[in-house]
């Protein structure tokens, strides 16, 4: 697995990380054995970077990773997130120093470590200026609890404000072939400031795979159940568009997931996508994406098949988008 730099002063991590939201059952039932098997596959494929959060299963994802590392004697570079009030109502966030310190201490305990490489603010608390939040995170870094800090789902203007207080390590926003709004300022701001950009849901929540998900089978707990892109007539329209991309990938001898991740990695060197899965088999399907080199012909064909803005429907429902900083 090739590596990339996690921000200007961060460690070298695998060019593709692993998102661990699925370990907490957000996209269907899972168990410890399956998750451990997936982490084994990540280790064996050279993936060194895990992404989790206090919110995922109310700490369960973190607990599982901590248990795995202790049992297997293997240490990953870990990013985790806090700032959302666990158990609170949607959109209830607390970025105060007291709340973030409590959240971070809890994460470290569950992960069974004294230090994580990256700590994100999961969602902004609009009652607190981002400069004050950056000062709090700088304290955590100076105390040795975190290697660097970042923000999830923020705007370029907020990144610049926080970065003026202390260099930000990374920004994590949704980015894929069907969600390209970061191209309207965030990718450029990160490149300018030396901040890593970490795309989550780079496989379009399992749409950019060789087998489409079946919305009729989504459990009530499945995060995608009420997303407009998975509701008709949007879902069928999106499947039709993505089928052309599948055919393109197949013609090149790649899986659909490999092609989708290769496209992201081809954008800039500061991008580190974190596809999520709980399946070792699925992980092995895309782990080789970092070795793919797209040609100018590939880039032109991908843009023809899936032009900017092709997706039918919004990426979130009105209820789900609460707390996300929109800028365009």
| Residue entry with tokens 């926003």 | 173
Per-residue DSSP letters for 80-103? EEE-B-TTS-TT-B--SHHHHHHH
Contact 269, 191 (CB under 8 A): no
User: Does the annotation count 316 as an active-site position?
Assistant: no
Torsion of CA 187, 190, 193, 195, to 10 degrees: -150
| Residue entry with tokens 């985790």 | 80
- What does DSSP assign to residue 278? S
- In the set 56, 68, 120, 175, the catalytic residue is 56
Contact 8, 194 (CB under 8 A): yes
Q: What angle do CA 91, 177, 83 make, to 5 degrees?
A: 20
3-state secondary structure of 108: helix
Give how far Cα 69 sits from Cα of 65, 110, 184, Å: 6, 11, 39
Strand partners, 199: 173
Instruction: In whole angstroms, give the CA distance from residue 29 to residue 7.
Output: 34
Residues 6+ apart with CB under 8 A from 72: 36, 39, 40, 43
First to last CA, the chain: 35
Active site residues: 56
């Amino acid at each position: 697995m090739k590596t990339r730099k996690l921000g200007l002063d961060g460690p070298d991590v695998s060019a593709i990380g692993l998102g661990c939201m699925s370990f907490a059952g957000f996209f269907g039932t899972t168990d410890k054995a399956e998750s451990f098997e997936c982490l084994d596959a990540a280790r064996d494929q050279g993936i060194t970077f895990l992404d989790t959060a206090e919110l995922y299963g109310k700490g369960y994802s973190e607990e599982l990773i901590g248990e795995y590392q202790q049992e297997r004697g293997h240490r990953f570079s870990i990013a985790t997130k806090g700032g959302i009030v666990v158990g609170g109502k949607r959109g209830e966030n607390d970025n105060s120093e007291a709340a973030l310190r409590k959240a971070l201490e809890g994460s470290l305990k569950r992960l069974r470590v004294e230090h994580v490489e990256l700590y994100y603010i999961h969602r902004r608390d609009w009652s607190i200026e981002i400069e004050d939040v950056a000062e709090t995170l700088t304290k955590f870094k100076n105390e040795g609890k975190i290697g660097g800090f970042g923000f999830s789902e923020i705007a370029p203007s907020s990144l610049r404000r926080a970065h003026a207080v202390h260099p930000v390590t990374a920004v994590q926003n949704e980015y894929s072939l069907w969600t390209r709004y970061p191209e309207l300022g965030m990718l450029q701001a990160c490149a300018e400031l030396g901040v890593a950009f970490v795309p989550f849901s780079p496989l379009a929540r399992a749409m950019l795979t060789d087998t489409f998900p079946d919305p009729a089978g989504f459990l009530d707990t499945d995060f995608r159940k009420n997303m407009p892109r998975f509701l008709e007539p949007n879902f069928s329209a999106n499947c039709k568009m993505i089928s052309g991309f599948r055919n393109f990938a197949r013609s090149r001898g790649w899986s659909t997931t490999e092609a989708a991740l290769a496209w992201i990695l081809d954008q800039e060197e500061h991008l580190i996508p974190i596809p999520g899965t709980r399946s070792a088999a699925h992980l092995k399907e895309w782990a080789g994406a970092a070795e793919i080199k797209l040609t100018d012909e590939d880039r032109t064909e991908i843009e023809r098949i899936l032009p900017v803005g092709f997706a039918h429907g919004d990426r979130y429902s009105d209820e789900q988008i609460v707390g996300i900083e929109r800028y365009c």
